[in-house]
């Protein structure tokens, strides 16, 4: 389990999360990737001292690296990704999430099918790089308020099938499912490809704190797929020190009910 933070990398609360009993932390790769070597070594040392591993990284690409549109530069994106994935491996991550709305959003007037092809070409080239670093890339569906491409699980699943590589899998995000009103039945259809999960409560995306009906339904559908891997809290706290332990207890209860 992880909880989000306001610091760019996400490291500020690592000791608190460890004390609360969280299993791991999820850190921002685009911020880790630009650290000079001494600073990165400090991050790795702090994680080690806390006893909490960084098993997953989010925020793969920074928005200034364009992945779609006329300014998309595949060689530059791959050079960045080579370094970023090596950095993710160094901090201990085995999953990197491909959300990166700022980088992947399609410029106005650019053909959506061409942008789709650009993302497919990029991810096809990324797959063997990820494999070398023993990392799985999890495609994230983002609601239409955040992105104008890959808005549903069904769409990320179609893209993953087109790429057809074991290192390109899916992230399931309870918040985006809820906002997009995508049927939970999709989870059963894509079950073999699910490699990571994000949860939050309600459309306000708060820390889980109760057996909210939509969250209960989500976990019920997820459990029915046989999924037993990680689940991260990606949400906004109202009072972190009380919200974080309550969210952990809620998610553990719902994931095993």
pLDDT digits (tens, 9 = 90+) for 101-130: 999 999 999 999 999 999 999 999 999 999
In the predicted structure, residue 257 carries a pLDDT above the cut 90: no
Q: What is the pLDDT of residues 151-183, one digit of tens each?
A: 999 999 999 999 999 999 999 999 999 999 999
Give residue 211's pLDDT band: very low, low, confident or very high (50, 70, 90): confident
In the predicted structure, residue 133 carries a pLDDT above the cut 80: yes
Average of per-residue pLDDT across 82-86: 98
Give residue 245's pLDDT band: very low, low, confident or very high (50, 70, 90): very high
State the Cα torsion 191-193-198-203 to the nearest 10°.
-60
Q: What is the mean pLDDT of the chain?
A: 95
Average of per-residue pLDDT across 18-31: 96
Q: Is the pTM higher than 0.85? A: yes
**Phi, psi of 78, deg, nearest 5:** -70, -35
**Contact assessment for residue 163 and residue 118, using Cβ atoms and an 8 Å cutoff:** no
Average of per-residue pLDDT across 67-92: 98
State the Cα torsion 4-44-230-83 to the nearest 10°.
90
**Phi, psi of 102, deg, nearest 5:** -60, -35
In the predicted structure, residue 5 carries a pLDDT above the cut 60: no
Average of per-residue pLDDT across 15-27: 96
Q: Facing residues of 172 across strands?
A: 197
Among 8-22, 114-128, 137-151, name the one with the lowest average pLDDT.
8-22
Give residue 3's pLDDT band: very low, low, confident or very high (50, 70, 90): very low
* Ordered domains of the chain (ranges, CATH): 14-256 (3.20.20.150)
pLDDT of residue 181: 97
Distance between CA atoms of 54 and 44, rounded to whole angstroms?
Answer: 9
What contacts 24+ positions apart, CB below 8 Å, involve 218-224?
218/174, 218/177, 218/178, 218/184, 219/251, 219/254, 219/255, 219/257, 220/257, 221/184, 221/185, 221/187, 221/188, 222/172, 222/187, 222/197, 222/255, 223/255, 223/257, 224/187, 224/188
pLDDT of residue 1: 44
pLDDT of residue 2: 44
Give residue 7's pLDDT band: very low, low, confident or very high (50, 70, 90): low
pLDDT of residue 25: 96
Give residue 9's pLDDT band: very low, low, confident or very high (50, 70, 90): confident
Percent of residues, the chain, with pLDDT higher than 90: 93
Strands 136-140 and 95-98: parallel
């Amino acid at each position: 389990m992880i909880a989000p933070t306001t610091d760019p990398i996400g490291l500020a609360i690592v000791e608190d999360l460890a004390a609360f009993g969280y299993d791991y932390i999820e850190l921002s790769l685009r911020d880790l990737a630009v650290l000079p070597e001494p600073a990165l070594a400090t991050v790795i040392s702090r994680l080690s001292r806390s006893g909490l591993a960084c098993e997953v990284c989010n925020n793969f690409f920074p928005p200034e690296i364009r992945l779609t549109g006329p300014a998309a530069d595949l060689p530059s994106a791959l050079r960045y990704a080579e370094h970023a994935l090596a950095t993710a491996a160094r901090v201990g991550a085995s999953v990197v999430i491909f959300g990166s709305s700022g980088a992947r959003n399609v410029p106005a007037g650019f053909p959506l099918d061409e942008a789709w092809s650009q993302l497919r070409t990029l991810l096809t080239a990324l797959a063997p790089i990820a494999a070398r670093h023993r990392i799985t890339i999890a495609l994230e569906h983002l609601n239409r308020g955040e992105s104008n491409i890959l808005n549903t699980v069904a769409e990320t699943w179609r893209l993953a099938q087109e790429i057809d590589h074991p290192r390109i899998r899916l992230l399931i995000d309870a918040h985006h499912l809820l906002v997009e009103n995508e049927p939970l039945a999709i989870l059963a259809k894509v079950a073999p490809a699910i490699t990571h999960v994000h949860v939050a409560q309600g459309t306000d995306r708060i820390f889980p704190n109760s057996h909210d009906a939509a969250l209960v339904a989500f976990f019920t559908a997820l459990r029915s797929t046989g999924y037993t891997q990680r689940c991260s809290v990606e949400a906004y706290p109202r009072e972190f020190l009380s919200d974080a332990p309550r969210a952990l207890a809620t998610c553990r209860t719902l994931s095993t009910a």
